[in-house]
Amino acid sequence: MAHGHAVKRYSGLMDWLTTVDHKKIGILYLIAGGFFFLVGGLEAILIRIQLWKPLNDFVSADTYNELLTMHGTTMIFLAAMPVIFALMNAIVPLQIGARDVAYPFVNAIGFWTFFFGAVLLNVSWFTGAAPDGGWTAYAPLSSTTFNGDHGFDYYVLGLQIAGIGTLVGGINFLVTIINMRAPGMTFMRMPMFTWSVFITSALILFAFPALTVGLAALMFDRVFDANFFDPSGGGNAVLWEHIFWIFGHPEVYILILPAFGVISEVVSTFSRKRLFGYSSMVFATILIGFLGFMVWAHHMFTTGLGPVANGLFSIATMLIAVPTGIKIFNWLFTLWGGSIKFTTANLFAVGFIPTFVMGGVTGVMLAAAPADFQYHDSYFVVAHFHYVIVGGLVLGLFSGLHYWWPKMFGRVLNEGLGKLTFWTFFIGFHLTFFVQHFLGLMGMPRRIWTYLDGLGFNEMNLISTIGALLMGLGTIFFLLNIVVTAFKPKNAANDPWEDGRTLEWTISSPAPEYNFKQTPLVRGYDAYWKEKMDGHTEMTPAEPLGSIHMPSPSILPLFMSIGLFITGLGLMYSHGEWGKIAGIEAGYVVGGIGLIITFTCMIIRSLVDDHGFHIEPEELQDKGVKA
Amino acid sequence: MSAHSHDGHLPHEPEKATLEGRNKILGFWLFLGAETVLFGTLFSAFLALRDQVLDGPTSQELFQLPLVALATGLLLTSSLTSVFATQALHMHKVKAMIWWLLVTVLLGLGFLGLEIYEFYHYVHEGHGFTTSAFSSSFYTLVGFHGAHVAFGIVWISLLIGQLAKKGLTVTTAPKAYVAGIYWHFIDVVWVFIFTVVYLMGKVG
Amino acid sequence: MASNHSTEEQRPVRHKVEGPKKHIIAFIFSILLTLIAFAAVAGGEINTDFIYIILIGCAILQVFVQMAFWMHMKDRGHTFAIIGILFGVMVVATCVIMAEYWAWW
């Protein structure tokens, strides 16, 4: 734009509510995701306390069902996804040398819809009807016939709203990575974390619409008496399982791929070596993403699909072990002969590798359809998916958070406390879940409230509960670390690990709001490392110093999401609970008001052009070294 | 942003002149990839449930081909008029663009009117939303498409207002281009709806 | 945002505006394919499987024409648009196979 516009800039709370800065949105995602991680963790601890001895009655059977459903749903959708989005937002634009994401405004919408969807889902605790049919919401357990209260209404509408946020977030990162890379940053020079985020975003793009349809159909069944999954109306309960897993299997790769990316970065940095087999890593990531859509029915081997389908999905599932194996060996070869520094981040990364291999091996065991008939719905499955999700994703996220904390907050986390976090969490994790393999093989079914004495389950359940408490302790150490670090001076160097290889380490910690004063020129893979090897201390700029255009902050994303929240709440209570207004169900009236709020915000956004504002070169000089 | 704006001279293909414009177009295409999966899942739910009619009328008894043919003609023509609008955009003719978009909106309204009449008629034939799994999946699939048409009509109408007020700029051009792509996509989905739902339903 | 990012869509363009002719041809083609499909059903008395093949063939052909010409997918700079749609179609194909073979037994 040729002319500047005076733009209102907020401070304090309003700054956070209106921000469109991807780094701040990343922090918001981290706070919200971290909060729900604690909530889900608390639910897990309660589950383990209930199971520590046979015939325990610490919680009632109904509460137990609610706890296990909400634990799974919360951890997958409200904790893991947002923390992944936190790292994506905080790091990806910096890694590709971009000043911003492609759609800063949409990015804010993504966060707020996630947040209000998550809140809506958890409101169910306070209205006395949390969903209680498992995180997979299998019909007919989730139908009004067997679940007459509002529990699954909260599930369906909460996840639908949160899903919108995830989908637009995925599109945002795809476009950012395709269109906004710095000059010279070709696809095959992109850091591995950016690659994994690229593929994850593509999986979000193609998997979430299936969930949208599934949730909409289940909502129609529950709210408008449709017959999709209701056999008495001609519906098909297995159809829900298909649709759920057509989304659900890609979803677990959406979760794990970013962890793969984090591990690749951390292992390479702290071995002071180029990532071994970079191109094969890229290829393996793409292949895992592709195959992720071809294996959903391995969750349904025991529904009776028949030998042909079971055989096909069995083989397709085992195929995934090949690209995953490539990755494991590449990490090992990266470590091989490197000058390894065991920082906390690297400890988590190195701990990740064998743990994830164990989860992968049980995955191949489960992929064998005939054997799966034995493992199905037993604690063996619980052990398997906790090994890949906690032992894989959560260790990866801890690694990434310790690694990039200085870039996000300008302070390096305390290494002593970090190592304490690692060891308590790591040992606690294996104590909790390793024994569960054997519990499963001995026949303990999953999703049971309690078990009888004398089945041989007692000791291992006790060990498992002790492990869970240790994991809780590890999390407390991490929180303690955050608090302790927050009181230290904000003095992290640009490249606090001194071995940074990628572009985010060339700018101050935390990054200034415009990220790069001058867009860097990328001359090879591991752009910063290449400059270091050539004896330079910083990147060559690709442009002269000029004024930088920035998007304006906006409150609209918040209000759009509040509108959706109101709509969701209204739709649930549209069966006479709230009475009638002018002959129409009050629930529908409230729902309509919510939609009007959302659409009004959309129209305002469309009609009022956002000219943004400029940061002039003189200001850049002043701010040049601001930490 | 590049130096094209505000000097009265529009670049060739103004929708792609700015990074924002290029981002918008690319992102919208990817969104259409997601829409493909959305409609594909709705189609597969319909395909799985189309024979579950219970006591309600079957698709052979229900569907009237002349009505569907008329609706198809309207939507197909509106797709042509919206591509004419995009052409007018490339020739920087705002007036022609507004005119073609207006025709598109009117044809879309005609299509929507036919669909509402059709649904009303079906309900009176005993084919309500809750009648059977077939009826639920039918109304959901065709209704999702109808909702997309309705959304498109509102969107393009607002766009006509913006074009009339602000003219063709590097800001309005990408919006109009993307709306055109959206409208074509709706037409493409309809091709599969009239083939899979109506024609194949009529064959049985 | 700064104008510092180059993509393949930014190469110099030939400044020639396309005429309406090919769009009208695409329109006539679409109408013809639609007519064939409706006629195949209205005509009755042909083998059902054969009608299905005609119907699906016409639909795919028509969609291909519309996407290539009206949605400009044949033009330069649509690499990711094509990848996006094709991958979506692939996922849809698995969904349809599921609905036809693995929903009831």
Q: Where are the domains of chain C?
A: 22-74, 78-105
Distance CA A117, CA A572 (A): 14
Q: Tell me the pLDDT band of C4, cut-offs 50, 70 and 90.
A: very low
Query: Which chain C residues contact residue B34 at CB under 8 A?
Result: 88
Question: Which CATH code for domain A12-341+497-554+610-623?
Answer: 1.20.210.10
The answer to whether the Cβ–Cβ distance between C7 and B22 falls below 8 Å is yes
Q: Please state the rounded mean pLDDT for residues A279-287.
A: 97
Q: Tell me the pLDDT band of A406, cut-offs 50, 70 and 90.
A: very high
Rounded to the nearest angstrom, the minimum Cα separation between C94 and chain A is: 8
Contacting partners of chain A (3+ CB pairs under 8 A): B, C
Distance CA A282, CA A289 (A): 11
Whether pLDDT at B87 is above 70 = yes
* ipTM of this complex prediction, to 2 decimal places: 0.94
Mean pLDDT of chain A: 94
- Map out the domains of chain B as residue ranges: 14-50+62-203
Q: Tell me the pLDDT band of B11, cut-offs 50, 70 and 90.
A: confident
Question: Could you read off the pLDDT of A58-108 as tens digits, one per residue?
Answer: 999 999 999 999 999 999 999 999 999 999 999 999 999 999 999 999 999
Q: What is the pLDDT of residue A575?
A: 85
Mean pLDDT of chain B: 93
Given CB atoms, is B5 within the 8 Å cutoff of chain A? yes
Q: What is the pLDDT of residue A222?
A: 94
Distance CA A420, CA A443 (A): 35
Q: What is the pLDDT of residue C20?
A: 85
The answer to whether the Cβ–Cβ distance between C23 and B1 falls below 8 Å is no
Q: Tell me the pLDDT band of C17, cut-offs 50, 70 and 90.
A: low
Question: Could you read off the pLDDT of A184-204 as tens digits, one per residue?
Answer: 999 999 999 999 999 999 999
The answer to whether the Cβ–Cβ distance between C20 and B84 falls below 8 Å is yes
Q: What is the pLDDT of residue C46?
A: 75
Whether pLDDT at B5 is above 60 = no
Distance CA A358, CA A370 (A): 21
CA distances in angstroms from B33 to A216, B186, C77, listed in the order given: 19, 13, 16
Given CB atoms, is A542 within the 8 Å cutoff of chain C? yes
SS3 at position B162? helix
Q: Tell me the pLDDT band of C8, cut-offs 50, 70 and 90.
A: very low
Q: Please state the rounded mean pLDDT for residues B101-114.
A: 98
Tokens linked to A394:
């959560």
SS3 letters for A295-325?
Answer: CHHHHCHHHCCCHHHHHHHHHHHHHCHHHHH
Query: Which chain A residues contact residue C94 at CB under 8 A?
Result: 246, 293-294
Pairs of CB atoms within 8 A across A/C: 60
Whether pLDDT at C11 is above 80 = no
Whether pLDDT at B165 is above 50 = yes
What region, left, alpha or beta, does residue A520 occupy, with left being phi > 0 and alpha being psi -120 to 50 degrees? beta
Whether pLDDT at C12 is above 60 = no
> What phi and psi, each to the nearest 5 degrees, are found at residue A523?
-110, 0
Query: Which chain B residues contact residue C88 at CB under 8 A?
Result: 32-37, 40
Q: What is the pLDDT of residue A4?
A: 46
Higher pLDDT, A6 or B70: B70
Q: What is the pLDDT of residue C43?
A: 80
DSSP chain C: --S----GGGS-----PPPSHHHHHHHHHHHHHHHHHHHHHHT--S-HHHHHHHHHHHHHHHHHHHHHHTT-TTSTT-HHHHHHHHHHHHHHHHHHHHHHHSS--
The answer to whether the Cβ–Cβ distance between A179 and C7 falls below 8 Å is yes
According to the per-residue pLDDT averaged within each range, which of A97-101, A605-609, C47-51 is highest? A97-101
Query: Which chain A residues contact residue C80 at CB under 8 A?
Result: 178
Lowest-confidence segment of A9-23, A496-510, B6-20, B105-119 by average pLDDT: B6-20
Q: What is the pLDDT of residue C10?
A: 46
Contact map slice: B 32-91 vs A, CB within 8 A: 33-35, 37-38, 41-42, 45, 48-49, 52-54
Looking at the structure, give the CATH architecture of the domain made up of residues B14-50+62-203.
Up-down Bundle (1.20)
Higher pLDDT, A10 or A323: A323
Whether pLDDT at B2 is above 80 = no
Rounded to the nearest angstrom, the minimum Cα separation between B115 and chain C is: 18
What burial class does residue A55 get, using C-beta atoms within 10 Å of its C-beta: 0-12 exposed, 13-18 middle, 19+ buried? exposed
Q: What is the pLDDT of residue B92?
A: 92
Give the pTM. 0.94
The answer to whether the Cβ–Cβ distance between C103 and A236 falls below 8 Å is yes
Q: What is the pLDDT of residue A620?
A: 75
Closest CA to A529 of A551, A503, A556: A503
Nearest neighbour of B158 by CB, restricted to A1, A246, A606: A606
Given CB atoms, is A178 within the 8 Å cutoff of chain C? yes
Tokens linked to A274:
């180029």
Question: Could you read off the pLDDT of B189-201 as tens digits, one per residue?
Answer: 999 999 999 999 9
The answer to whether the Cβ–Cβ distance between B133 and A206 falls below 8 Å is no
Q: What is the pLDDT of residue A474?
A: 97
